[in-house]
Chains A and B, each alone.
Chain A
Amino acid sequence: GEQVEQRPPHLSVREGDSAVITCTYTDPNSYYFFWYKQEPGASLQLLMKVFSSTEINEGQGFTVLLNKKDKRLSLNLTAAHPGDSAAYFCAVMDSNYQLIWGSGTKLIIKP
């Protein structure tokens, strides 16, 4: 079945710098992907959902890139600010409509 690997597990960047979190998946037929943000003590907040037909997806302060050839999904935060400090999780929907989760990245933004 689908397997998802997320890197890095921990990431620390200075305020104003960019941060990149990457997930790789194994099933080339996967077509629906998600990024969630979890702030300390809080639940999961959906950042973006991505269909396989769209390789570049832009949100507020971040971009999600999908490389289908390499089976890689990345979350790129531009100009990170303290509010971006959180855990980030990718999830890939498998052919049974179930979500396969990455192991998470704990992002810390230093002043």
Chain B
Amino acid sequence: GALVYQYPRRTICKSGTSMRMECQAVGFQATSVAWYRQSPQKTFELIALSTVNSAIKYEQNFTQEKFPISHPNLSFSSMTVLNAYLEDRGLYLCGARVGNNQAPLFGEGTRLSVL
């Protein structure tokens, strides 16, 4: 079946350092990949949406300089959190979908803790 695999599941980094997380679509080709952050006690914030043959679109309050995303093919995407600080803590979710009208499939997320 189709699923989305995220790696790592959990990570801890020191304040001011960076960490990279990966998202792999298995069993289907993802025409779009959305990265979300779920901060403690909050709902989901869309960081950016990456669609095939389009530029990566970042939401307000999120920038490419802080959250660079790579989407080299229809199966894989990665995002880096640069210079992580306490406010970057949370669960980062990757949602991948086949077409615009499809419900995104989510990975299990990467939980980021910052010391």
Q: Measuring CB to CB, which residues of chain A are less than 8 angstroms from any residue of chain B?
A: 32, 34, 36, 42-46, 49, 89, 93, 97-99, 101-104
Does more than half of chain A's interface fall in helix, strand or loop, or is it mixed? strand
Which secondary structure characterizes the binding site on chain B? strand
In the assembled complex, how far is the CB of residue B93 from the closest CB belonging to chain A, in whole angstroms? 6
Cβ-defined contact, B46 with A98, below 8 A: yes
Which residue of B32, B46, B49, B106 contacts A44 across the interface (Cβ within 8 Å)? Answer: B106
Q: Provide the bound-state CA to CA distance between A45 and B107, in Å.
A: 9
Residues of B within 8 A of A93 (CB): 101
Given A34-B103, A49-B103, A97-B101, decide whether A42 and B108 contact each other with a Cβ distance below 8 A.
Answer: yes
Write out the residue numbers on chain A whose beta carbons fall within 8 Å of the beta carbon of B34: 98-99
Interface string of B96-115 (1 = CB under 8 A from A): 00001101111111000000
Contacts of B108 in A (CB 8 A): 42-43
B109's nearest neighbour on chain A, judged by CB, is A43
Complex Cα gap A102–B38 (Å): 12
Chain A positions within 8 Å of B100 at CB level:
97
Please provide the chain B residues from 25 to 75 with a CB less than 8 Å away from any CB of chain A in the complex. Answer: 32, 34, 43-44, 46, 49
- Contact partner of A43 (CB less than 8 A), chosen from B46, B49, B107, is B107
**CB-nearest residue of chain B relative to A45?**
B106
